[in-house]
Chains A and B, each alone.
Chain A
Amino acid sequence: GENVEQHPSTLSVQEGDSAVIKCTYSDSASNYFPWYKQELGKGPQLIIDIRSNVGEKKDQRIAVTLNKTAKHFSLHITETQPEDSAVYFCAASSRGHDMRFGAGTRLTVKP
């Protein structure tokens, strides 16, 4: 089955700096890669996703890149703000109901 590894487990940046979170996956059949943001005491929320036919996708300050050959994908957050502080999860899926999540990255943005 799919195995998703996520790094780093914790990340601390200064407000205004960029943050990068990286994930690798094992199943070459995976074709859908979402990213979730989880604030304290709440359920994870989808913030951006990318499909295997696309190499990069942007939505304002966040972007995701995918390298299918190397089986890794990354989340980039630019101009970080304190409200970006949360736990971020990457995930990979090939059939919809087989989504596997990374272990999560706790991002802290210091004012």
Chain B
Amino acid sequence: SQTIHQWPATLVQPVGSPLSLECTVEGTSNPNLYWYRQAAGRGLQLLFYSVGIGQISSEVPQNLSASRPQDRQFILSSKKLLLSDSGFYLCAWSQGVGGKTNYGYTFGSGTRLTVV
């Protein structure tokens, strides 16, 4: 069966420090991968998605970046964190069958990031 792993679960970082959040998926190949951010009590904001290795699409311009070095690995990074980067970060995956068939997303357990 497919599983998604996301870590760390919580993170407290000072303003200006770098960030690296990692997400891996097991039990499937060529998945679509996503990074979402959720502010407290708010909805899901899509940050990045990837349909293949090295293919990254950005939905919102900001000081975050994403990379997909391997088929089932998705990394969210920042060189210098801002206070406004605080939030709940969620990784998700969906079946990437040529983009022609829709499947539900499976979310990871999330990373709560607090920038101080």
| Residues of A bordering B, CB below 8 Å | 31-32, 34, 36, 41-46, 49, 51, 89, 93-97, 99, 101-104
- Interface of B: prevailing SS: loop
Contact status A99-B105, CB under 8 Å: yes
Contact status B43-A103, CB under 8 Å: yes
Contact status B102-A93, CB under 8 Å: yes
Q: How far is the CA of A108 from the CA of B79 in the complex (A)?
A: 40
Number of A-B contacts (CB under 8 A): 61
Contact status A97-B94, CB under 8 Å: yes
Contact status B99-A95, CB under 8 Å: yes
Interface string of B85-116 (1 = CB under 8 A from A): 00000101011110111111111111010000
B contact residues around A96 at 8 Å (CB): 32, 94-97, 99-103
Contact status A101-B44, CB under 8 Å: yes
B contact residues around A32 at 8 Å (CB): 102-103
Chain A CB within 8 A of B35 CB = no
Interface string of B1-18 (1 = CB under 8 A from A): 000001000000000000
Chain A CB within 8 A of B74 CB = no
Q: How far is the CA of A44 from the CA of B103 in the complex (A)?
A: 15
CB distance from A5 to the nearest CB of B (A): 11
Q: Which of A44, A51, A103, A104 has the most CB of B within 10 A?
A: A44
Q: How far is the CA of A101 from the CA of B107 in the complex (A)?
A: 13
Chain A CB within 8 A of B75 CB = no
Contact status B49-A97, CB under 8 Å: yes
Q: With A97-B94, A101-B44, A104-B43 given, is the CB distance from A43 to B104 under 8 Å?
A: no
Q: With A42-B109, A43-B90 given, is the CB distance from A31 to B102 under 8 Å?
A: yes
* Nearest A residue (CB) for B44: A101
